Structure 1
Amino acid sequence: MTKKAIYGAIVTGCIGLAVFFVFNYLVKDSFAHTESEIDYVIGVSQPNLREPWQVLMNEEIKTEVEKHNNIRVIYTDAAQSTKKQIENIQTLRSYGIDLLIVSIDDSSALSPVISDVYQDIPVIVLGRGVEGYNYTLYIGSDNYLIGEMAAESAIDLLGYKHRKNIIEIQGLPSTAQARERSNGFRNTIFKESNNVISDAIVANWQRDKAEDGLKKLLKTRNKPDLIYAHNDAMALGAYRAINSMNLSDVIIIGSDGVNKSNGGLQLVKEKKINTTFITPTGGKESIRYALDILSQEVEIPKKVILRNYEVTKKNVSHYLKGESALTKSDSDQKVNLTLGFAQVGNESEFRSANTKSIIAAAEKEGIDLIFENAENNQEKQIAIIKGFIDKGVDVIAFSPIVEYGWEEVLQEAKDAGIPVILSDREIEVEDPSLWTSFIGSDFVEEGRRAARWLVNNMRTSKEKINIIELEGTKGSAPALGRKEGFNEILRDNPNLQVLESLSGDFTFKKGKEMMKNALLRYGKDVDAVYAHNDDMAIGAIEAIEEFGLKPGNDIKVISIDATKKALYALSSEKLNFSVECNPLLGPQLMKAAMDLKQGKNIPMKVITSEETFTQEEANKEIKRRSY
């Protein structure tokens, strides 16, 4: 062999060894553990790792992964390219991952991709939501609420004397996050002040685009009084533009609140922006829930909504202390706990199942449960809660009869240092700190799902489809939310019209009575019934039969709850469609109460996972349904 050939062989061998060691290093860096220890492989798809918030999310995921030696995690970064992120997700699928964790910039483009992945493996969506319900779990913030909070802060900072000028700097328009933050901000500004949003700049979450866009705009506009940017990166861009143009006294509000260089907390501290909102990334929670999903040992919610925190110059030093300012404890030590639960009543099959679930879960966890029933009377429910305060229980939970009228008693609970969990139904109070967490359903989405079935299945030659709506208890969160979601879909489908909305109070008796009255007024002109729960739907079915018509055929019937009664009505083709509202909230309620007792922060909202059922799907579900 010649010297040249020998030299070539040596070089080739060295290159091969180098490639081998580099590959081994990269694999170890991504996979972290040996093959023999691995139970699950998880893929993480990030839209970019430039934004401080996305960087923090990735760091939190990696920190949590280090606590578990049985998982392998593969990380990808799309470098702000939607096309690249779609390719990354397909590559992760080809690796045979067991679960995908994904954070996105462009929900319009990524939603169908995520929906497709969800057909094969579980998907956790972080931070920025997707369109529809085709994912396993969403962990993130209520972006509409963030917009509302930003608007309330803007109104306070601007004062109420004179009309002020606002510029909004928006994220990527195709993302649900940007739309929701904008809607929350604009609706609150218009409703609660006379300030005007004169201009909007689309900067796609990017600092430089925000800076350049604002500079260009201000060449032809007067100086604004306030700028609201959908994230802190764009808020920094706004500051740089204002500063470079020698403008002063412009209030800047951002969002994300990351404690890093050029993150929101530093920007507030350095007085570059006035306010930010800490928006938890959900990184550490995603790994914990991923393991729960893969082990299939606990019930998984559909959405976990994390709490946001307003940061100003007055409290920024507190939050600069780091995670300890937000997380009190990670202890899992068993605790002695007394929980007071004030049930709304026993108005339906749903409520009976809900009560049984709470009692059984408390017994299983060894929790001292004081359970009292308000019998659909708000005054009695308030008196029950006052009694819990007097007894000094550790946690109070209740399912509120209506949304309003709770401030006084909840202020008493807060003053006594007793956290309050809302179960199944939400409330409207000016001070959201009066309650700690909500565990229940997305009532608005339930209404949307009911309406979508009508849109997709009521295709007739008739010009108008006439609907009777049987509402739940007036002023209750389920009745308001289910009506709102239903009407939202109907607005885009003018051929569907509600002839009349009647209050059936969630009961069989009232539902039947209201349907009888509707049939006497409208007769065969009624095409469909939308009932806010199964009990009213079953009452309506009886009324339709007594009127001489065939429910499910002559008049379509849609309900919410999907109890066993409804499934039997579906299988007998008297009911057409039912949207599940899961009453089995006991285990999640007990976990939240124990976490609070242990000093942990818990999510602001936990939205249960729920399905829908048609006549064809009912028989299979009946065998599994326990309520």
Structure 2
Amino acid sequence: MKRMLTTLLSVASAGVLAACGSGPAQDAGPAGGSTGGAITMGFSQVGAESGWRTANTVSIQDAAKAADVDLKFSDANGEQENQIAAIRSFVQQGVDVIAFSPVVRTGWDAVLLEAKNAGIPVILTDRAVDTEEPDVYKTFLGADFVREGQWAGEWAVKEFAAAPAPVNIVQLEGTTGSDPALERTTGFAEAIATDPKLTVIASQTGDFTRSGGKQVMEAFLKAHPKIDLVFAQNDDMALGAVEAIEAAGKKPGQDIKIVAIDATRDGMQALADGKFNYLVECNPLLGPELMDLAKKVVAGESVPARVVTEDQTFDQQQAAAILPERKY
């Protein structure tokens, strides 16, 4: 997509991006940020809160190199204000395309409108946003989080079909207000509603971190003497829960069963070892498809408004079989 720039905009100061945790900005180059024939992408990442996020970042950085895309990368350290500052900096630099994985779902209208008014297309990755402004992003690339939660819940219904009532479930939620936390909660609740003996007796955010999962699970174990199942909205929180369960003298995967979402290598290892019972995949390797979409929107080609990544589920045997070739 061609855009007309009547003036050259100044490059954002180093201090802005330093506040975003990414260090000083490099010169975006002439003519809308393109250098050496490559398109320039400004990308704002949520942070590095989990193994999934680290794999996602590596995928994007590697894919940018392979696709000859000049990547301006910013780490928001889990703070929305950092992402907004980074996106505004990308607009000032005149990059060709902006992509970001939103920390939370709301609060993006103003900055997305600024990018639109500057003629810079935006791609959402991994997480969606709620916005009142029309046509402020071109496409959203990521998993179906509601479906992921449903798959986890459907497994729980089958696993506890013959169990006596009640079946007490504790839920380790992701970052409050984030797209995956909201939608995985919804999907899981919809699935377990088919069996009234399955009840979520406690639900709290562990912020998608291993330490958060451990801390919350410790509190759950003290408050609730009978817990049958942990539903963790990512592997890292589930791994933290394993530490808390073992410290309490119980066996994860046996005394308390665990279903989680992500299927990273550490999670798959825990499943193969019998400490998890079931995993729903959320593939972080979005880089190649993101670069393909970026080139298309910059060229003015039409792209789908929603691109859903393909995921699968794993039991213990499947995890053990796939571990040797797992890429993340």
Which bracket does the TM-score occupy, shorter chain normalised? 0.7 to 0.9
| 1:426 partnered with 2:125 | no
Q: Distance in 1 between matches of 2:102 and 2:55?
A: 17
The higher relative CO (CA closer than 8 Å, separation ≥ 6) is in: 2
Distance 2:255 2:163 in 1: 15
For residues 170 and 82 of structure 2, the distance between their equivalents in structure 1, rounded to whole angstroms, comes to 32
Q: Which among 354, 357, 361 is matched to residue 56 of structure 2?
A: 354
Which deviations, in whole Å up to 9, do the C-alpha atoms of 1:53-99 show, x marking residues without a partner? xxxxxxxxxxxxxxxxxxxxxxxxxxxxxxxxxxxxxxxxxxxxxxx
Matched, 1:592 2:293: yes
Question: Which whole-Å CA distance do the structure 1 matches of 2:166 and 2:49 have between them?
Answer: 34
* Sequence identity (%): 49
Q: Report the secondary structure of 2:106's partner residue.
A: coil
List aligned pairs for 1:64-83, cutoff 5 A.
Answer: none
Q: Is the aligned partner of 1:568 residue 2:253?
A: no
Match of 1:372 in 2: 74
* Corresponding residue of 1:194: none
Question: Paired residue for 1:495, among 197, 202, 206?
Answer: 197
Give the alignment partner of residue 311 of structure 2, picking from 610, 614, 619. Answer: 610
Distance in 2 (alpha carbons) for counterparts of 1:608 and 1:432? 24
Aligned-partner Cα distance in 1 for 2:259–2:141: 25
1:391 counterpart = 2:93? yes
Shift in Å at residue 573 of structure 1? 0.3
1:466 corresponding residue in structure 2: 168
Counterpart in the other structure of 1:551: 252
Task: Specify the alignment match of 2:43 in structure 1.
Answer: 341
1:445 is aligned to 2:142: no
Partner Cα distance (2:99, 2:84) in 1: 12
Q: Pick from 112, 122, 127: which aligns with 1:410?
A: 112
Read off the aligned partner of 2:127 and give its amino acid letter.
Answer: R
Q: CA deviation at 1:409?
A: 0.4
Shift of 1:336: 2.9
Q: 3-state SS of the aligned residue for 2:224?
A: helix
2:17 aligns to what?
A: none
Q: Aligned-pair distance for 1:442?
A: 0.2
Structure 2 match to 1:527: 228
d(CA) in 2 for partners of 1:458, 1:542: 24
1:503 aligned partner, one-letter code: T
Name 2:217's counterpart in structure 1: 515
Alignment of 1:240-279 (within 5 A): none
Task: Specify the code of the residue in structure 2 equivalent to 1:376.
Answer: G
- Going from structure 1 to structure 2, the CA distance change for 1:555 and 1:597 (only over 3 Å counts) comes to same
| Conservation of the 8 A alpha-carbon contact between 2:41 and 2:69 | yes
Letter in 2 for 1:373: D
Q: What is the alpha-carbon distance in structure 2 between the residues aligned to residue 615 and residue 406 of structure 1?
A: 41
CA distance in 2 between partners of 1:505 and 1:440 (Å): 19
8 Å CA contact 1:545–1:551 kept in 2: the answer is: yes
User: For the residues of structure 2 that align with 1:506 and 1:432, how far apart are their CA atoms?
Assistant: 31
Q: Could you tell me whether the CA contact under 8 Å between 2:121 and 2:298 is conserved in 1?
A: no
Which AA in structure 1 matches 2:55? A
- In the TM superposition, what whole-angstrom CA distance separates every residue of 1:90-148 from its partner, at most 9, and x where no partner exists? xxxxxxxxxxxxxxxxxxxxxxxxxxxxxxxxxxxxxxxxxxxxxxxxxxxxxxxxxxx
One-letter amino acid of the structure 2 residue matched with residue 564 of structure 1: R
Give the equivalent residue in structure 2 for 1:485: 187
With structure 2 as the length reference, what TM-score do the two structures score? 0.88
8 Å CA contact 2:156, 2:192 repeated in 1: no
Residue 326 (structure 2) aligns with: 625
Is structure 2 residue 253 aligned with structure 1 residue 581? no
* Partner-residue secondary structure (3-state), 2:171: strand
Q: Scaled by the length of structure 1, what TM-score is found?
A: 0.46
Distance 1:437 1:624 in 2: 31
Using the alignment, how far apart are the partners of 2:207 and 2:252 within structure 1? 21
- CA offset at residue 459 of structure 1? 3.0
Q: 1:460 to 1:373 in 2, by over 3 A?
A: same
Work out the CA distance in 1 between the residues paired with 2:301 and 2:202.
47
Query: Secondary structure at 2:83's aligned position in 1?
Result: helix
Q: Secondary structure at the match of 1:393?
A: coil
8 A contact 2:210–2:237 mirrored in 1: yes
How far is the alpha carbon of 1:565 from its aligned partner?
Answer: 0.4
Q: Aligned partner of 2:291: which letter?
A: M
Corresponding letter in the other structure for 1:621: I
Structure richer in helix, relative to its length: 1
Residues of 2 paired with 1:566 and 1:482: CA distance?
Answer: 18
SS of residue in 2 equivalent to 1:538: helix
Q: Gaps (5+ residues) in structure 1? A: 1-333
CA–CA separation in structure 2 for the residues paired with 1:360 and 1:432: 32
Q: Per-residue deviation at 1:432?
A: 4.0
Deviations 1:450-492 (A, max 9, x none): 0000011113442111000000000000000100100111222
Q: Are the equivalent residues in 2 in contact too, given 1:451–1:486 (CA < 8 A)?
A: yes
**1:53-452, aligned counterparts within 5 Å?**
336-452=38-154
Higher-Rg structure is 1
Q: CA deviation at 1:431?
A: 2.4
What displacement does 1:512 show?
Answer: 0.3
Quick check: 1:505 aligned with 2:196?
no
CA gap 1:350/1:461 in 2 versus in 1, 3 angstroms: closer
The question of whether the paired residues in 2 share the 8 Å contact of 1:335 and 1:594 is answered with no
AA matched with 2:307: V
Deviations 1:145-196 (CA, angstroms, capped at 9, x unpaired): xxxxxxxxxxxxxxxxxxxxxxxxxxxxxxxxxxxxxxxxxxxxxxxxxxxx
**Taking structure 1 as reference, are residues 343 and 495 closer, same or farther at Cα in structure 2, changes over 3 Å only?**
same
Query: For residues 335 and 419 of structure 1, what CA distance do their matches in structure 2 show?
Result: 18
Q: Distance in 2 between matches of 1:493 and 1:364?
A: 48
Contact 1:335–1:598 (CA<8 Å) still a contact in 2?
A: no
Q: 1:618 to 1:461 in 2, by over 3 A?
A: closer
Question: SS of 2:135's equivalent?
Answer: helix
